[in-house]
Amino acid sequence: MLVHPIEYRYFHPEMREIFTEERKLQRWLDVEAALARAHAAVGNIPKEAAEEIERKANVAHVSVERVKEIEKRTRHDVMAMVEALTEACEGEAKKYVHLGATSYDIVDTALALQLRSALEVLEEDLRELMRVLLDLAEEHRETVCIGRTHGQHALPTTYGMKFALWASDVARHVERLREVKKRALVGKMSGAVGTMASFGEKGFEIQRLTMKFLGLSPVPIASQVVQRDRHAEVQCLLALIAGTLEKMAKEIRNLQRTEIAEVFEPFARGQVGSSTMPHKRNPHRCERICGLARVVRALVHPALETIALEHERDLTNSSVERITIPEGFILTDYMLRQMIGVLRGLEFNYENIRRNLEMTLGLCLTERVMMELVKRGMGRQEAHEKLRRLAQRCWREGRSLKSVLLEDEEVMNLASEEELDEWLDPRNYLGTAVEQVERVVRSLREAPP
């Protein structure tokens, strides 16, 4: 029976498959095969023996079930795999399985293979999310809306600005991911405490060849394990991605509030929002993303704790990483795909966007009026104070900014009513918003990270 939601609810098959028991076992066997091949290349074992180990180093010959059966006796999962592979091999090859290696030569190198596959999936997710955001940014570069700071109406902006900003965030994650690959996709073949004593004078060459066959970089130096700051960095990357996804999801949730109602996550035909209130249209996918982001961020702390292993290593990282690494990747991949789906089906209520833009009856343009009065000779502080007092009057009396400005003799000595209309049109106070969006879209399409 399945227990963890990443097994049956919060997952996509491609990422989950990378962390299954069978795929993990196959990665271990891949490393054993590469090690045997390296030994043969330097003349330590017969070529035929290495070829036999390579033939049998797959889950068709070494099953998860057989490894678990042996592990009940050995209480050591890697040794159980070694025994099962040895059983599967014929002839002299039996003598050379796992020659010179310690368990974490296999485990850490295989983990790098898993991380490579997982990071490739994640990178494609991020690039697809960026493409969707760039499309939305371009489409809505001139969709004027009210900008909000501190939860209050501020100045006009555009929806294109929101999407271009998020696309830039995602582009930085792609850059970080590519940097992380340099430090995370490494393996070792250096024995029990990292001295390579079990490999003798050919240790460096065996490590180099093993990693070459696997497409990994060899660590320059290791103890019994690859140092855990590398894996903690990966976990931090996942947390940063989760933070951006939560930022996006939270904004959509707030914009979907009944009182705002500007954008809505897609709502499928036949979808139910509430078991008791038929009218409800809850932003459940965005809420789920926000909730799961907390889980991914929480995985950073135990990952950081695994950096400080005792002496040449202890086992406190093992139990942690069996949980944190699969959870982090599976949940982050799931959240990315959920957000891509939300954005592809995002619905806009343009009437409400216009209504909210006009809700404060021109008060969101006080900065524009202030700047224009300064251009006509009024001091900046004087103009600010005047607009502050006039805005308070608007709030008290429930009047538009224009009506109050028309009654101010000092203002009307500097401007005409027609000019006030031009100043109080939100479309005329967007600064370089449209150009910024176009620059981001052009830059990320022409030279993506």
Q: Which CATH number fits the domain that encloses residue 301?
A: 1.20.200.10
pLDDT at 193: 96
63 an active-site residue? no
In this structure, is residue 306 part of a structural domain? yes
Of 348, 341, 351, nearest in space to 162 by CA: 348
- Give the chain's domain count: 2
In this structure, is residue 315 part of a structural domain? yes
Range of the domain at 418: 360-446
CB 28 within 8 A of CB 104: no
174 & 131 share domain: yes
In this structure, is residue 399 part of a structural domain? yes
Query: Parallel, antiparallel, or unpaired for β 347-348 and 263-264?
Result: antiparallel
User: What are the backbone dihedrals phi and psi of residue 12, each rounded to the nearest 5 degrees, phi first?
Assistant: -125, 140
Of 77, 79, 29, nearest in space to 54 by CA: 29
328 & 365 share domain: no
Q: CA 94, 97, 102, 105: dihedral to nearest 10 degrees?
A: -170
pLDDT at 106 over 70: yes
377 & 295 share domain: no
172 & 255 share domain: yes
pLDDT level of residue 268 (50, 70, 90 thresholds): low
Report the pLDDT averaged over residues 153-181: 98
Strands (E), 248-404: 263-264, 347-348
**How do residues 427-448 score in pLDDT, each as one tens digit?**
999 999 999 999 999 999 999 9
CA torsion sign for 74, 78, 81, 82 is: negative
188 & 303 share domain: yes
In this structure, is residue 223 part of a structural domain? yes
162 & 258 share domain: yes
12 an active-site residue? no
User: For the chain, what is the mean pLDDT?
Assistant: 96
CB 22 within 8 A of CB 62: no
**How do residues 407-422 score in pLDDT, each as one tens digit?**
999 999 999 999 999 9
**Angle at the Cα of 290 (from 289 to 294), degrees rounded to 5?**
110
User: Could you give the C-alpha distances from 274 to 259, 260, 291, 379, in angstroms and in order?
Assistant: 19, 20, 19, 56
326 & 345 share domain: yes
Q: Which residue among the candidates 12, 190, 198, 274 is catalytic per the annotation? A: 274
Residue at which a domain ends, from 332, 353, 374 = 353
Rg (CA), the chain: 30
**How do residues 240-265 score in pLDDT, each as one tens digit?**
999 999 999 999 999 999 999 999 99
pLDDT at 396 over 80: yes
pLDDT level of residue 277 (50, 70, 90 thresholds): confident
In this structure, is residue 84 part of a structural domain? no
In this structure, is residue 28 part of a structural domain? no
**How do residues 373-382 score in pLDDT, each as one tens digit?**
999 999 999 9
In this structure, is residue 69 part of a structural domain? no
324 & 222 share domain: yes
Tell me how far apart the alpha carbons of residues 93 and 95 are, in angstroms, rounded to a whole number: 5
**How do residues 289-337 score in pLDDT, each as one tens digit?**
999 999 999 999 999 999 999 999 999 999 999 999 999 999 999 999 9
Q: Which CATH number fits the domain that encloses residue 402?
A: 1.10.40.30
289 & 389 share domain: no
175 & 158 share domain: yes
Cβ neighbors of 163 (< 8 A, separation 6 or more) are 133, 134, 136, 137, 140, 437
In this structure, is residue 96 part of a structural domain? no
Of 395, 382, 377, 387, nearest in space to 423 by CA: 387
Residue at which a domain ends, from 338, 353, 368 = 353
pLDDT level of residue 270 (50, 70, 90 thresholds): low
CB 332 within 8 A of CB 238: yes
β-bridge partners, 348: 263
369 & 222 share domain: no
pLDDT at 157: 98
User: Could you give the C-alpha distances from 111 to 12, 293, 296, 426, in angstroms and in order?
Assistant: 20, 24, 19, 54
248 & 386 share domain: no
Report the pLDDT averaged over residues 372-394: 95
Structure tokens of 26?
């196959």
pLDDT at 156 over 90: yes
Residue at which a domain ends, from 353, 375, 403 = 353
